[in-house]
Structure 1
Amino acid sequence: IIMSIRKRTSKKAKNGYVYEVYFPYKINGITERYSKSGFKTKKEAQEHEALMLAELKENGSIKKEIKKSLENVYHEFLEVGSAQYQSSTIYSTKKNYHYFEKELGQLPIATIDYSILQKYFNSRSEYGIETNKNIKKTISRILNFAIKVGYIKSNPLNLVTVTGIENHLDHEKVLLYDDFKAIINALDKVDFKRKAYSIAIQIGYYTGLRISEVLALDKSDFDLDNNLIFINKKLLYKDLKKENYTTSNQMKSKTSKAIIPLANPLKHSIIEWFKKNPYEKVICDIDGYYINPNVLSLDVKNLAKNLSISFHFHMLRHTFATNLVNSNVDLKTAQELMRHSNINTTMSIYTHVNDQHKINVINNVFDIKSVEKVSKTNNKIKTLN
């Protein structure tokens, strides 16, 4: 390798010149040439020259500079690298991209490092932690694709710490049984679509199924003789018109596909519903079309609000898990019923629910009424003595 540093004239430079690193090298007998200009001092050029020599020695070649921006790679990911992901993941990627498009989108992919990313997430410390975590997942997805296609060598996001405000969202709450019954009773008194909503909520309450799984169910998925439900698909609806909604066997995880028990209260409702519903789809509108999960959630949320009840469909899954914990169901059985692929997920729910139960116990012991009760009891004891 013949290495050289050239001094070249430059109208943009204050002193009228810059330094250029230029040298030829061979790969498999073929001569390649490397050059990079714009160095202000000869020392800077020499340092860069040494780095390129080290890379050539280590890798046998010199990686060409990638000038693509994060936005370029994002679009390339959607076109080329998204096939392995579920449609919901791609939808989430598109949804989250706008959060960092302005700050990071135009940056060259090769220049995005830990400091840039950490500074960005530091600027979002006053936003919700869950949103920030989802943004991190989206950026990481794009950077991992960049590694696959050779644009970068490593993912700097692995070193980044994400903070934010803990939001107490509705889906983390538990739906009390009385509130559950109040919503069901209100829906059962309305039209066909609202009665379908009622069945969907009952399925969610008694099974812990995700909303996309509930809305994909067919009548043939229910074995009423053996009290079983076959979970094997989910609804695909995002970016689709109502008439094009369909189902997919590609679930969230391998354990999402399962055969689960059919609870007696749910069985009774299902039998009555099947008599009224002429379609093979369990949850559908009067014309037999699948129902959009977002529409169902919003409609029921508004109805529940009129009843002074806080509701979000995912609350049903958390309620199901909480009922398992409070009924002392063992961890392994709970994992199978929740269809978690990782038992740590089940354990985290158990820990959260148990911690909340302890808090409730303490609050019940030391609330005003309890204190008054203890005080009156002590007074009676003193009187007797």
Structure 2
Amino acid sequence: MKHQKKISEIITLWKADKKQYVKKSSYSAYVLLIENHLLPEFGNHNYVEESKVQSFVFQKLEQGLSPKTIKDILIVLKMILKFGAKHNFINYKPFDIQYPTERTKQIIEVLTRSNQKTVMQHIKNHFTFLNLGVYLCLSTGMRIGEVCALTWEDINTDTGIIKVSKTIQRIYTIEDGNRKTELILDTPKTINSIREIPMSTELLRMLKPIKKILNPTFFVLTNNAKPTEPRTYRSFYKKFMEALGMPKLKFHGLRHSFATRCIESRCDYKTVSVLLGHSNISTTLNLYVHPNLEQKKKAINQMFRSLS
């Protein structure tokens, strides 16, 4: 065993190593979790005990962090500790952390069919490039960063296909203790997020006449060489929905609405998963496939018929 190092020293070495292999956005997310949570709690330690990590989890839950965020923090901690153990800087024994049982179901907020029709009809009657982004998300399930990064060359009105291959996001960077933000154009969330989405007849009818006269390199939402960023577009969306008298719905609810309409229309789950760019079908099933009471009754009746 080499001379044992403090966690803060191992973090410095791990960051230098990790920076070579991951996307800038991923590295930025790691650094933010380290600076905000891991360094203050474990930085001065030479060893991390399971009981200390368990206490850390309860503390973060009390502070209002979600279990998912805490799990993300622990993933980074484990990567750092494994790196330290690999280089003989620290002893590392895997820990098994417990989380309180969640007793509330995750509610997916979506537009009703009626409200979705109202929004889409309004956009057709009052076309602007910013409005179009809302219509695109309701028609394709794209994420906000993906629609902000969309250029006219990504939309092929001859084949009726939209290619999603990039995303825009603002990331936090911390260098020499100085925090700043940076807007980056990058590849999407995962390899599965690079995908082709067919356009509906209505969307194609809307875009075909204007596509011929637009600069293919321009961003769709601004129709110029400079994009709009997600936080700016969220602000526009909020005012847009308020003006229409719609219930409050996060922008991501447009993506949920698209997926929900697909499931309601009895599209096969694998296809919906591919359209959304999910890494695996289980994500789609867990989020959107929830049998209603009629389906449950039908299942019970079928089971008893098979017994008779």
- Tell me the equivalent position of 1:84: 21
| Change beyond 3 A, Cα 1:155–1:223 | farther
1:295 aligns with 2:228: no
- Give the partner amino acid of 1:135: I
Q: Which residue of 2 aligns with 1:233?
A: 166
- The answer for the alignment partner of 1:348 in structure 2 is 286
Q: For 1:359 and 1:102, locate their aligned partners in 2 and report how far apart those are by CA, in whole Å.
A: 52
Among residues 191, 209, 218, which one is paired with 1:281 in the alignment?
Answer: 218
Question: Equivalent of 2:60, from 109, 124, 136?
Answer: 124
C-alpha displacement of 1:173: 0.9
Report deviation, 1:210.
Answer: 1.6
Whether 1:97 and 2:30 are equivalent positions in the alignment is no
Give the corresponding residue for 2:147. 214
Equivalent positions of 1:292-371 (< 5 A) are 292-305=229-242, 307-351=245-289, 354-355=290-291, 357-358=292-293
Q: Any idea what SS the aligned residue of 2:61 has?
A: coil
Q: Give CA deviations for 1:108-140 in whole Å, capped at 9, x if unaligned.
A: 2x4112111011102233323333333333433
The number of residues matched between the two structures is: 286
Q: Conserved in 1, the CA contact under 8 Å of 2:47 and 2:91?
A: no
Counterpart Cα distance in 2 of 1:268 and 1:301: 27
Residue pair 1:82, 1:90 contacting (<8 A) in 2 also: yes
- What does residue 89 of structure 2 align with? 151
Q: Taking CA–CA contacts closer than 8 Å with sequence separation of 6 or more, which of the two structures ends up with the larger relative contact order?
A: 2
Identify the residue that residue 138 of structure 2 maps to in structure 1: 205
- State the partner residue of 1:19: none
Measured in 1, the distance between the counterparts of 2:25 and 2:155 equals 26
Tell me the amino acid that sits aligned with residue 146 of structure 2.
E
State the match for 1:114 in structure 2: 50
> In terms of mean alpha carbon deviation, does 84-93 or 175-184 score higher?
175-184
Supply the AA of the counterpart residue of 1:199: L
Deviation at 1:189, TM superposition (A): 8.7
Which letter does structure 1 place at the counterpart of 2:150?
L
Partner SS for 2:60: coil
Paired residue type of 1:77: W
Distance 1:124 1:239 in 2: 21
Contact 1:205 1:316 in 2 (8 A): yes
Distance 2:161 2:152 in 1: 12
**TM-score, length-scaled by structure 2:** 0.76
- What is the CA-CA distance between 1:333 and the residue it aligns to? 1.7
Alpha-carbon distance between aligned partners in 1 of 2:239 and 2:80, rounded to the nearest angstrom: 37
Residues 99, 135 of structure 1: 8 Å contact kept: no
SS in 2 for 1:65: coil
Which residue number corresponds to residue 369 of structure 1?
none
Letter of the 2:208 counterpart: I
Q: Deviations over 1:258-311 (max 9, x none)?
A: 222111222233335547855632334375311111111133124424535212
SS of the aligned residue for 1:213 comes to: helix
Counterpart residue type for residue 229 of structure 2: N
Q: Do the aligned partners of residues 287 and 224 (structure 1) sit closer, same or farther apart at CA in structure 2, a change above 3 Å counting?
A: closer
Q: Percent identity?
A: 21
Contact (CA 8 Å) 1:255, 1:339: kept in 2 or not? yes
Alignment partner of 1:321: what SS?
Answer: helix
Cα pair 1:124 1:132 within 8 Å, conserved: yes
Give the whole-Å Cα distance in 2 for the aligned partners of 1:263 and 1:185.
Answer: 14
- 8 A Cα contact 1:208 1:321, kept in partner: yes
- Using a 3 Å threshold, how does the CA distance of structure 1 residues 265 and 96 change in structure 2: closer, same or farther? farther
Name the Cα RMSD after superposition: 3.5
- Is 1:174 matched with 2:110? yes
Q: Secondary structure at the match of 2:197?
A: strand
Distance 2:270 2:263 in 1: 12
Q: Give the SS at the match of 1:268.
A: helix
Closer, same or farther in 2 for the Cα pair 1:150/1:347, shift >3 Å? farther
State the partner residue of 2:179: none
Larger-gyration structure (1/2) = 1
Query: Cα distance, 1:325 vs. partner?
Result: 1.3
Distance in 1 (alpha carbons) for counterparts of 2:280 and 2:138: 22
CA distance in 1, matches of 2:27, 2:145: 16
CA distance in 2, matches of 1:95, 1:203: 32
CA–CA separation in structure 2 for the residues paired with 1:181 and 1:76: 54
Per-residue CA deviations over 1:205-238 (Å, capped at 9, x if unaligned) read 1111122222222212222122111222222543
